[in-house]
Amino acid sequence: MKLKECKIKNFRCLKNFGPVPLYNLTMLIGENDSGKSSVLDALEMALNNLFPNESDFYYIEGIPTEPIQIELKFDVSPSETIDSKFLNSSSDLLYKVTYDKHQTKNEIQGQAYTNELLNQDFSKLKTPELKAILDVLGIVTEGKVNNNQRVELIEQYLNENTLEVEEKWTVAPKEILDIIPRFEKYCSSDYETPEKLIEKTLKDVFKSELYTKNPDTGETIVHESITGFEEKVREKLNEKVGELNGFVNTYNNQISNVSVEPIIDFTNGLKTGKLLLTEDNGGTYYLENKGEGTKKRLFMAILDWDRQIMLESVTKPVIRGYDEPDSNLHYEAQRKMYYSIRDITYQAQSQIQAIVCTHSLTMVDRAPSKIINLIKKNLEGHSNVEYLKSGGDSDIDEFLNSVTSNMGITNSSIFYERCFLLVEGITEENALPILYHKYFNRTLSESGIKIINIEGNGSWYNFVRLMGKNKSKLMLTLLDSDSKEPGTSCSLTLANLRSMGFQEDFIDKNVFYIGSKEFEDSFSSELYLKCLNLHWKKADGSLWTLEEIDLFKAEEKFSDKIVNEAAKLSQIFEPGKKCTKETLAIRMAELIDANDVPQELLVLFEEANRITGIQ
């Protein structure tokens, strides 16, 4: 059973939050106080049967408004034996927990009888209530009948007769509550204290030994015999602590032994004492007395150890919430943590899901774009969620798993940049940043503008479609004028944009053209002459002339002609100095005066600034 979606209402800043798509591994990103941690707290409350604090309710002018409501949608695998009456029409398990100031209501949405009397737990009803149901069903009893027999008669009738049902919310039965995943939350302080991480991992081992699954019902129950159980569990826990040594030695071969004493308490649960390290020289130290280097290496060893144990011992579905696991960790530790969490959740038959709240670009940029949810507050202080949508298109949905590797653009750019400028050419890619900085005295990066060159990228089509479905209001395109001509070799054309679903309003306002034919011919012949004679003088010592530049411009493809001629006649072939479209773009942009930047580009830049909110 995997949690695939959640909605949260009236919990802190989560006024009407969601739906949020959830996967084996999900990342929540956003600014501080945007509501990321509140999502984890809401899930922990709903899944672990906790009650909200007074401050968790949503208030207007000091008065709590509506009840807190947390709605969860679970994907049920074919191997899970859940009665279909507990599932909705899509065969999902919909589970809702509602909290008012005094009580909690747990419900599921499934197939229920239209007669509300029949949707109750009959075993909890009193004699008058059971008699009333028997009368409604027309069941006549003879002789003396007790309540157990009345329940049997009602259930027999329901099994043998087809009554009218509908999809509706009803009280969640115990058999559903028993299989709902539990939630484990990891706070930033846990990562700073390796002992806490070890304790959490050993608690999972403890629970896997304490509980067993009923083979007939699938229900999780306490182990039948406690006799000798404590010694068996202690032996298992010590075995797992012993396995930690191998992982620690991989990261720090000066430590020969790690020991921690599990304290078994059937009332309050498992606890552990201080972590004791023994070094090769025989010295013994508590971890708290060691330096940060030792703690960080131990931390990474614990991640590997935890991953192995989770895959071995967790049999009931678990959702792990990691709240800023990157806090105070160096780059390598952040990278290691991402892959450890990913491996735990994506292993075959894994019962673990993970939801990670993070600011770490190291982690964010390694994840598939599909699993990232950006949480932002609106002007009213309510949290909203943004994520990349495929619109039901299977090609885009598949592309979402590999955006960064296919396009060379990071997730952090996709989610955080404020304007995207699509171009088709290495000249534009290299010249535009210099020209923008020269005119506005700030960089594109400072303004939140990202240039994306789609030239030569086989994935450009799905990428542009993805951006169109999710970021069209932040997207501008700069096209060569000859892209409007029939038979053009350009990828980005009006026909292609229309076929990808872009509306005429976008084409009118967000598509810009430059040059009589292409970007390169929008610059003066005098500038090209100055650039070639400065950087690519002819090998025979003669200077380039305006007549030559004008002849190049008369060619069908000016940009190819001038680069080829400059490279051939200058005889400069050294990488980085040879005349290429890239080097020519950079040298031309460096030479141009700010007042000579083509007008078409200034109009484009002003529109990009408007989109980013920069005046």
Looking at residue 266, its pLDDT comes to 60
**Which pLDDT band holds residue 225 (cuts at 50, 70, 90)?**
low
Query: Which residue is associated with the tokens 């019962």?
Result: 351
* Number of CB atoms found within 10 A of residue 30's CB: 22
> In the predicted model, is pLDDT for residue 221 greater than 70?
no
Q: What is the mean pLDDT of residues 523-535?
A: 95
The pLDDT confidence band at residue 26, using thresholds 50, 70 and 90, is: very high
As a whole number, mean pLDDT of residues 277-284 equals 83
Q: What are the pLDDT digits (tens) for 362-381?
A: 999 999 999 999 999 998 88
| 453-462 residue pLDDT tens | 988 777 888 8
Residue 69: strand pairing partners: 9, 98
Q: pLDDT at position 69, please?
A: 96
Most confident of 237-251, 252-266, 485-499: 485-499
| Structure tokens, 594 | 């700010």
Mean pLDDT of the region 407-411:
84
Q: Is the pLDDT higher at 192 or at 386? A: 386
> Strands, E, within 48-117: which ranges?
59-60, 63-64, 68-75, 92-99, 104-113
269 pLDDT higher than 70: no
Query: What stretches of 490-556 adopt beta strand conformation (E)?
Result: 511-514
- What pLDDT score does 491 carry? 83
222-231, 391-400, 593-602: which is most confident: 593-602
| Residue of higher predicted confidence among 485 and 17 | 17
pLDDT (average), residues 37-42: 95
- 120: helix, coil or strand? coil
| Contact yes or no for 222/275 (Cβ under 8 A) | no
What 8-state DSSP symbol labels residue 77?
Answer: P
| Mean pLDDT of the 422-430 span | 94
Q: Which residue has the tokens 């990066």?
A: 445
Mean pLDDT value across residues 539-548: 94
Predicted TM-score of the model (pTM): 0.80
Closest CA to 326 of 352, 370, 364: 364
Task: Convert the pLDDT of each residue in 88-144 to its tens digit.
Answer: 888 899 999 999 888 899 999 988 888 888 888 888 899 999 999 999 899 988 888
More confident residue, 63 or 366: 366
Pairing of strands 475-480, 511-514: parallel
Residue 227, pLDDT score? 56
φ/ψ of residue 597, rounded to 5: -60, 130
Closest CA to 114 of 163, 65, 158, 156: 163
What the block records as the tokens of 573 is 């072939």
